[in-house]
Amino acid sequence: MTVEFIKYHGTGNDFILIDNRKLQIDKKDKDRIDSLCDRHFGIGADGLILLENSELADFKMIYFNSDGNESSMCGNGGRCIAHFARSLGLVTDKAAFEAVDGIHNVRFEDEQIALSMSDVKDMVRRSDAIILDTGSPHYVTLVNDIDTLEVKVEGAKIRNSADFIADGINVNFVEQSGQDNFVVRTYERGVEDETLSCGTGVTAVALAMHRIGKTEGQTVGISTPGGNLQVRFNETNFNYGNIWLIGPAEPVFKGRIKW
């Protein structure tokens, strides 16, 4: 079977997207997904995303990490699939789609795509980190040497520690660069390496930094190795809602593969 795909990236976080409304893709074929995401022998990507029909929204997003396992919400992928859906004529200036953690709304703002994220109420504060779930679980920790930090090594230590080895966790290293601005590098579970950007990760960083008083702003700028993102939110009594992840989504190339 020959399948058409399109390669996207959102601030360097790259994905293979496939229109699967006819349900031709075997979602249990982990080995095939893994091989397609391989950067030497496949297309190369941080993950694979399927667009399917939804009874609850304009479409459904199903996300797989590059290891072939279906995973939790992906913020950068959410913006990419929204752009893809618009290119297919499914939506126009706004959209709503179904994901593993519920319904997400999308607004197209010139060259930027604003994606609504799940509300966040619970954060666990440790002496050296904040742990929270923004659609995916995240560990957020401040560092002073982010440019020279060995993210793959240090991130793997935390992700594979006794507290997180069972389900895994994404690890975000953060350095403040301004009053409402931060630099972030992320080790992503499932990819098991540093990615150039992580949408749920930068969302977690913005909320965590606000919670611990590193910023009072409710619009936070985040710089990642792959580009710049913005997180807007409202906070009431340490509950965070009306959360929006804002940034670009760019198609890279199209092609056909045998499945």
pLDDT tens for the chain, 259 residues long, are 999 999 999 999 999 999 999 999 999 999 999 999 999 999 999 999 999 999 999 999 999 999 999 999 999 999 999 999 999 999 999 999 999 999 999 999 988 999 999 999 999 999 999 999 999 999 999 999 999 999 999 999 999 999 999 999 999 999 999 999 999 999 999 999 999 999 999 999 999 999 999 999 999 999 999 999 999 999 998 899 999 999 999 999 999 999 8
SS3 96: strand
Domain assignment present for residue 192? The answer is: yes
Q: Are residues 133 and 59 in the same domain?
A: no
Q: How far apart are CA 61 and CA 75, in angstroms?
A: 11
Domain assignment present for 43: yes
Residue 202 DSSP symbol: H
On whether both 155 and 96 belong to a single domain, the answer is no
What pLDDT was estimated at residue 238?
87
Kindly state whether residues 71 and 160 are assigned to the same domain.
no
Quick one: how far is CA 175 from the chain centroid? 20
CA-CA-CA-CA torsion for 149, 153, 157, 158, nearest 10 degrees? 40
Determine the pLDDT at residue 110. 87
Could you tell me if 213 and 234 lie in one domain? yes
Residues 80 and 127 in one domain: no
Catalytic position from the list 17, 74, 117, 151: 74
The whole-number pLDDT of residue 40 equals 97
Q: Would 117 be classed as within a structural domain? A: no
DSSP letter assigned to residue 30: H
Residues 104 and 219 both lie in one domain: no
Give one DSSP letter per residue of 62-91, joined into a string.
EEEETTS-B-S--HHHHHHHHHHHHHTTS-
- Cα distances from 57 to residues 22, 151, 242, in angstroms, run 17, 37, 19
Query: Do residue 29 and residue 132 come from a single domain?
Result: no
Closest by CA position to 235, among listed 129, 134, 105, 121 = 121
CB 131 within 8 A of CB 140: yes
**Does residue 132 share a domain with residue 57?**
no
CA distance 249 to 253: 13
74 flagged as catalytic? yes
Q: At what angle do helices 199-211 and 75-87 cross, to 10 degrees?
A: 130
69 and 135 assigned to the same domain: no
Examine residue 21 and state whether it is found in any structural domain, yes or no. Answer: yes
Question: Is 198 assigned a catalytic role?
Answer: yes
Report the SS3 class of residue 201. Answer: helix
Hey, which bits of the chain come out as E strands? 2-10, 13-19, 47-52, 59-65, 94-99, 102-109, 112-117, 123-125, 130-133, 137-142, 170-178, 181-188, 193-195, 219-224, 227-236, 239-247, 250-258
Integer CA distances (angstroms), 201 to 90, 108, 110, 194, 205, in order = 28, 21, 24, 12, 6
CB distance 161 to 168 below 8 Å: no
Q: Is there a single domain that holds both residue 95 and residue 144?
A: no
Are β-strands 47-52 and 13-19 bridged in parallel, bridged antiparallel, or unpaired?
Answer: parallel
The domain of 35 spans: 2-111+248-258
Check 198, 204, 208, 246 and give the catalytic one: 198
Q: Are residues 105 and 215 in the same domain?
A: no
221 within some domain: yes
**HSE-up of residue 120 (Cα within 13 Å, Cβ side):** 29
pLDDT value for 95? 97
Q: How many folded domains does the chain comprise?
A: 2
Q: In the prediction, which pLDDT does 129 show?
A: 97
Q: CA–CA separation, 107 vs 113, rounded Å? A: 6
Chain centroid to CA 28: how far? 22
- Looking only at Cα atoms, what is the longest distance across the chain? 54
Is 86 found in the same domain as 134? no
14: CATH = 3.10.310.10
